[in-house]
Amino acid sequence: MTVPIIRLEAVSRHYQDGERTVRALDGVDLTVPPGETLALTGRSGSGKSTLLHLIGGLDWPSSGTVTVAGQALQSLSDGALTALRLRTIGFVFQFFHLIPTLTVLENLTLPAELAGLGGAEARRRAHRLAEAVEMSAHLGKYPERLSGGEQQRVAIARALLLEPPLLVADEPTGNLDSETAARVLDLLFGLARARGTTLLLATHSDEAARHAARRIVLHDGRIAEDRKTTIDDAVGGRR
């Protein structure tokens, strides 16, 4: 039996806002097999980002269990959790989070340095991924010299450098115009599928969601809908 890359069991995340209890997530069960592309959709405040943060080990559930790559996150030490995030999960955010004082090449190789990967191998991977995202000509540039779409392509390449089995993307096209967003989505999903990487995408965009093989709609912290993407959906997302 294939071990799920993600499993959530009765996961809730509640917090206090003054005297009010906010139920950001409320009893969510979710299983994601390796290699699946999945879109999380729903209105603002529905729980999308909270769910991604829990899966990424950036936040903790109030109750329930979050398991990633066979490891229950709550049972890990700080060091083990950091290692899992570095090696198992690639992150792509709405804001690109490139380090402004580093070149594109240095931004790409930084995760490898943190993971103890040799410099020659890190540079080899960086050059290969830069070619895949059409950024080979920009390796010596600093982020401020790049457009938003170029910066996001660098961020995608950086997230994939350590070949993580899971890629988590939180509104990765939120700061891009529609034409650039379409190119970035094609790139993101194309690379994920080519590498067999599980892609979990949180988005407000129906166009973005149509690229995924599966779509989950969140409402008031609960899963309101969980379905496979239809052929019509997929075609609509690529027009």
Task: Please tell me the pTM assigned to this model.
Answer: 0.88
Domain ranges for the chain: 34-58+76-236
Q: Which whole number is the average pLDDT over 160-168?
A: 93
Query: Where on the phi/psi map is residue 171: left (φ > 0), alpha (ψ -120 to 50), or beta?
Result: left
Would you state the pLDDT for residue 52? Answer: 93
Is residue 14 classed exposed, middle or buried when 0-12, 13-18 and 19+ CB atoms within 10 A define those classes?
middle
Mean pLDDT of 3-24: 92
The answer to whether the CB of 48 falls within 8 A of the CB of 13 is: no
Whether pLDDT at 235 is above 80: no
Residues 181 and 208 sit within 8 Å (Cβ to Cβ): yes
Would you place residue 173 in the very low, low, confident or very high pLDDT band (cuts 50, 70, 90)?
A: confident
Q: Which long-range contacts (CB under 8 A, 24 or more apart) does 12-20 make?
A: 12/61, 12/62, 12/63, 12/64, 12/221, 13/47, 13/50, 13/54, 13/59, 13/60, 13/61, 13/62, 13/221, 14/62, 15/62
Instruction: Give the pLDDT band (50/70/90) at residue 20.
Output: confident
- List, for residues 57-115, the tens digit of each pLDDT value: 989 999 999 999 999 999 999 999 999 998 899 999 888 889 999 999 999 999 888 88
CA angle at residue 90 from 121 to 138, to 5 degrees?
55
Per-residue pLDDT band at 201 (split at 50, 70, 90): very high
Q: What is the C-alpha separation between 42 and 29, in angstroms, rounded? A: 17
Within 10 angstroms of residue 178's Cβ, the number of other Cβ atoms is: 9
| pLDDT (0 to 100) of residue 239 | 44
Of 9-13, 101-105, 159-163, give the lowest mean pLDDT range.
Answer: 159-163
Amino acid in position 48: K
What does pLDDT average to over the chain? 90
Asked if 24 contacts 63 with a C-beta cutoff of 8 angstroms, the reply is no
Q: How far apart are CA 177 and CA 172, in angstroms?
A: 12
Residues 6+ apart with CB under 8 A from 208: 39, 173, 181, 185, 201, 237
User: Looking at domain 34-58+76-236, which of 3.40.50.300, 3.40.1410.10, 3.30.830.10, 3.20.20.70 is its CATH number?
Assistant: 3.40.50.300
CA-to-CA dists, residue 238 to 20, 118, 163, 172, angstroms: 43, 39, 26, 17
Using one digit for the tens of pLDDT, what is the confidence trace for 27-71?
999 999 999 999 999 988 899 989 999 999 989 999 999 999 999
- pLDDT > 70? residue 238: no
